[in-house]
Amino acid sequence: MSTKDFIEKDYYKVLGVPKDATEAEIKKAYRKLAREFHPDANKGNAKAEERFKEISEANDVLGDPKKRKEYDEARALFGNGGFRPGPGGAGGSFNFDLGDLFGGGAQGGGQGAGGFGGGLGDVFGGLFNRGSSGTTRVQPRRGQDIDTEVTLSFTEAIEGATVPLRMSSQAPCKACSGTGDANGNPRVCPTCVGTGQVARGSGGGFSLTDPCPDCKGRGLIAENPCEICKGSGRAKSSRTMQVRIPAGVSDSQRIRLRGKGAPGERGGPAGDLYVTVHVDAHPVFGRKGDNLTVTVPVTFSEAALGGEVRVPTLGGPAVTLKVPPGTPNGRTMRARGKGAVRKDGTRGDLLVTVEVSVPTELSGKARDALEAYREATVGEDPRAELFQAAKGA
Ligand SMILES: [Zn+2]
Ligand SMILES: [Zn+2]
């Protein structure tokens, strides 16, 4: 038996009993199945033989209250995670970070070395080291880290925001005790004999399995499907948390909220919550690191003669910027301290790019003035250098 087996195998499913079955119920289910699949009664039936082995293995663990408790705890640790609320709704992902998970376990003391090995020892040590040590350490266990996502408006990202995050996890359906059956008494699936898997055939020395089509991989068939969970045996439990996103986050940034993950067990610390932030675009302002950007139209005369222009800021009063005489189109100027909030509370700058606007309609007086300007600049050719350079190369 490997740790992987331990995480992957559902011994309750193998014995066809609910998660909260009593010792007597487990014993009864085991005896019935053991009789049914005993090799003596199924001579030459490899499937029955395999099933018998599984039944025995399941009984070894579930039939021993101490082992059963460890098994339940190990599976609870790997069993649920966070869902992202957001456009897609359910179907989010849960990533667990082995390093964090087991690193946290090692903090509890125990095998000293820390890291992967130490953590595993804490989680599974009681079962797998029983032979050598004979003792089980009961230690606090850190809760899971949870990954989720949130979308903020541009302003919320700059200023910081408190947002509700819905965290979902899968729990056994209360109505049917996780069996999926209205009477709490599901039948073991005859197609896969309760394993939940069917062979797809074999090739190249290894065999492949598919989830059983008849029981959808559950190993059990509900004669009277539970109305609450539609026979799946699982229910979604969700909680909503108010989470403070600090000021100055940028799009695609992943922030860590310490202690906001799944609660710890036996007095252990909670895991961390990782939130990947998406930021909506703003119709006026852009963002370059700590700086905000804005494009401001100026008239030709403002650019040529110089002047003062009013520039909007994000969430504050407008500022006045001096445009020096002879400012070219596209020049960027800086309004200090009007940008995004930095970690230390100071602000970046607002980068103001001037864009010379060309009038599409002219009043008679403006037209006369521009005609006069043309006459005054006759002989000036702004393209002279361009043609010179084009010839040279
Ligand atoms: Zn099946
Ligand atoms: Zn149910």
pLDDT tens figures, 333-362: 999 999 988 888 899 999 999 999 998 999
Plot region of 113 (φ>0 → left; ψ -120 to 50 → alpha; else → beta)? alpha
**Whole-angstrom Cα distance, residue 372 to residue 377?**
9
pLDDT at 129: 36
67-103 tens-digit pLDDT: 888 788 777 665 433 333 333 333 333 333 333 333 3
The number of the ligand nearest the C-alpha atom of 229 reads 2
Q: How far is the CA of 61 from the centre of ligand 1 (A)?
A: 22
Q: How far is the CA of 45 from the centre of ligand 1 (A)?
A: 18
The number of the ligand nearest the C-alpha atom of 194 reads 1
Q: How far is the CA of 236 from the centre of ligand 2 (A)?
A: 11
Q: How far is the CA of 228 from the centre of ligand 1 (A)?
A: 22
Q: How far is the CA of 183 from the centre of ligand 2 (A)?
A: 10
Q: What is the mean pLDDT of the segment spanning 33-55?
A: 83
Q: What is the mean pLDDT of the segment spanning 278-287?
A: 94
The number of the ligand nearest the C-alpha atom of 198 reads 1
Q: How far is the CA of 64 from the centre of ligand 1 (A)?
A: 27
The number of the ligand nearest the C-alpha atom of 18 reads 2
pLDDT at 362: 92
Residue 206, pLDDT > 90, answer: no
Q: How far is the CA of 179 from the centre of ligand 2 (A)?
A: 7
pLDDT at 203: 54
**Whole-angstrom Cα distance, residue 145 to residue 95?**
8
The number of the ligand nearest the C-alpha atom of 184 reads 2
Q: What is the mean pLDDT of the segment spanning 43-49?
A: 82
pTM for this model (two decimals) = 0.46
The single-letter code of the amino acid at 110 is G
